[in-house]
Chains A and B, each alone.
Chain A
């Protein structure tokens, strides 16, 4: 009876990707079986493989060597092989063998597919959150947005600018919004490899919408900054930091849209 089972499944969301689900022990006796699986993969013109290792109990150095060889075959054709779902013990052993410098490890197949789609299809990922219209909630929200940008590979400068943009728009939303029930601020962030789109909407105090419109108009007229200019520069700063900036008004509130292109 085979000590290892390998199941081949084309990915539903990305048909060019094969999911190879391994079960059991990958040792020297499974090398030929591993090789055959990759032969079949290449015959089917699959260049990218996610090896789902969640049900694997052992990976010997010989089996690891075979997997490295299979990965090389994929790399030569412009593809890749990544590991998903490794158990903690196996992951530690592979890391001790420096295999983490060769293979990308993902916690599960879904994370591996997200990374693949991010890397090769420029697919975006989104974030939506709502928070009460109070100043004290803005710093953790802006820092969270900045951390997401950094985690997605954006540089220090871009991440700092994202933090500033989110901070200024949210502060503005608090200043012009209402605190009462239902007065939450909604932040929507869409991020891909090339840009971040930010949308902040809030329920505005009808009496304050006119003053906000005045501030908005002033953004398009060059103004001299003076030592008395204590307020009202936030949206001007956002406009200068972003590549696209728009404010929508309605009877119930405002919505600020910003697009920031990746520069680093």
Chain B
């Protein structure tokens, strides 16, 4: 039984190479493979700018954070970006403690993250 995580996708207006992805549930060692597969499908389809909405991401552990760093690196290598918005304070604390705030592009609001795509 793996933890429940659901990814919902939405187009970003005026940005044909961008997708907004809502993370809903818990991101942990039991479901990272599924999330890797789905996110890399997006990157490989040409959606190299990903805005991840974490409003409903309840939990993330070190394994989940590891793949977020991996997404960020891979998106950059493809000329894009992986941006995160609406992080709840518990999840933000984990990102902060592990020292990943400077490696991930984190925004308070979804609109800010989308606008930063330029």
Contact = CB atoms under 8 A, between A and B. Distances in A.
Interface stretch (B37-45, B55-63, B109-117): B55-63
B2 A136 contact: yes
B1 A233 contact: no
Contacts of B63: 171, 231, 234
A151 interface: no
A164 B94 contact: yes
Interface in B1-39: 1-3, 26, 28-30
A139 interface: yes
Contact of A234 (B30, B62, B67, B93): B62
Most B CB within 10 A of own CB, among A139, A168, A171: A139
Nearest to B89: A157
B4 to A, nearest CB: 9
A228 B68 CA distance: 11
A225 interface: yes
Interface residues of B, number: 27
Contact of A237 (B30, B89, B90, B94): B94
B97 A167 contact: no
A177 to B, nearest CB: 14
Contact of A160 (B2, B73, B90): B90
A139 B98 contact: no
Contacts of B93: 157, 160
Nearest to B70: A230
Nearest to A240: B97
B77 to A, nearest CB: 10
Given A138-B29, A163-B59, A233 B73 contact: no
A229 interface: yes
Interface in A39-98: none
Interface string B47-82: 000000000000101110111011011000000000
A135 interface: yes
Contacts of A28: none
A242 to B, nearest CB: 11
Contacts of A171: 28-29, 61, 63
B99 interface: yes
Given A156-B90, A167-B61, A171-B29, A230 B67 contact: yes
B62 A227 contact: no
B100 to A, nearest CB: 6
B98 A227 contact: no
Contact of A227 (B90, B94, B103): B103
A225 B103 CA distance: 8
B30 A136 contact: yes
A234 B94 CA distance: 11
A15 interface: no
Interface in A218-249: 225-231, 233-234, 236-237, 240-241
Given A135-B29, A225-B103, A233-B62, 8 more contacts: A136-B2, A139-B26, A139-B30, A160-B59, A225-B98, A229-B69, A233-B98, A234-B61
18 contacts: A138-B28, A156-B90, A157-B90, A157-B93, A160-B90, A171-B63, A225-B100, A225-B103, A227-B69, A227-B73, A227-B103, A229-B69, A230-B66, A230-B67, A230-B69, A233-B62, A237-B62, A240-B97
6 A-B pairs with the lowest CB-CB distances in the bound complex, closest first: A230-B66, A227-B73, A225-B99, A234-B62, A160-B90, A233-B62
Interface of B: 1-3, 26, 28-30, 59, 61-63, 65-67, 69-70, 72-73, 89-90, 93-94, 97-100, 103
